Amino acid sequence: MAEKNIYGNTPPMLGAKNLTETDDYNTDVLFYGVPWEASSTWGDYTGVELGPKQIRLSSERYSTYLPELDHINVEDHLSFGDVGDVAVNPHNVPETVGIIEQFTEKLWNSGKFLVGIGGDHSVSYPIVKALTNTGKKVGIIHLDSHYDNYEDYHGDKYARSTPFKRLYETEGVRNESLIHAGIKGPRNKPENGKAAKEAGAVTLTINDIREQSDLKAYANEIYDMAAKDVDVVYLTICSDVLDFAFNPGGPVDGNGLNSYELLTMIYEFGKRGLCGMDYVEVYPMQDANQNSAHFVSTAVLYVLAGHIDGGHHK
């Protein structure tokens, strides 16, 4: 109904309580959007700033019941709130980075499970920086085709291709617990792999994942690497970790995970214990049926189902 919409025709994510006009974050899970696109790093492939709106619109179709996961109904165990969108400034990149950091630090201080909806991948830097500001030492599971660790993009230090370089430089992130998983393809360059290695970050390619005989066990190994010597583990998912056959509203990258593989892994991560997550790089303008935006609801529910089944909601 219109009165519960967070703006215009846009409902709260997955039927969440509308928390846009209060600072009383009295739900277990907090959704927020980051409608941000900085430098466009590939021609006219653009529109990712529309992701939070379309993902919320698509989520209205779904319940929180997952019969394939022992008939769990997520909302029976966790309450949802949607705090709305970060008020970005499209004309000022550094200012927006600071705005995102300030906005999410307030949310992190609530102690709730945070789910950020992007937006391009640059948003993960200020989100995690805000988490480190709370005094936490952070490990990161980064699911992506690409490292996103360039020094800059034509002088822009906060482009979508740079956030993990900024995170390597962030004191509260343990680089050895930063796991780049699903890496593949020639849109990466030699300097990306070199930068990850020099920083001490871990690279797991698509072949490392695909060649496992037990994906659930391997997901737990990945979690163990991310959780070593840190206080919390954060999950960030770029849509293009999926093969483009499963991600028509994302960058064109083949040889990726299928949806079952991704869901299996993130359920296991959730089960082990995450402090929060983001899902980024959904391009509604590129996707006539909004398949990629629809999938985000399922991905989020799988993480939250794992969170419940691991006993972290109590």
Q: Hey, what amino acid is at 258?
A: N
Q: Which tokens hold the place of 28?
A: 């277990």
287 assigned ligand-binding residue: no
Q: Cβ contacts of residue 161 below 8 Å, gap of 6+?
A: 41, 121, 146, 148, 149, 150, 153
156 assigned ligand-binding residue: no
Kind of pairing between the strands at 72-73 and 65-66: antiparallel
Kind of pairing between the strands at 72-73 and 202-205: unpaired
146 assigned ligand-binding residue: yes
The DSSP H or E segment spanning 197 is helix 190-199
φ, ψ (nearest 5 deg) of residue 233: -120, 130
Taken as a whole, the chain contains a residue count of 314
Rg of the chain in Å (alpha carbons): 18
Q: Hey, what amino acid is at 287?
A: D
SS3 242: strand
312 assigned ligand-binding residue: no
Binding site per annotation, positions for Mn(2+): 121, 144, 146, 148, 238, 240
List, as residue ranges, the binding site.
Answer: 121, 144, 146, 148, 238, 240
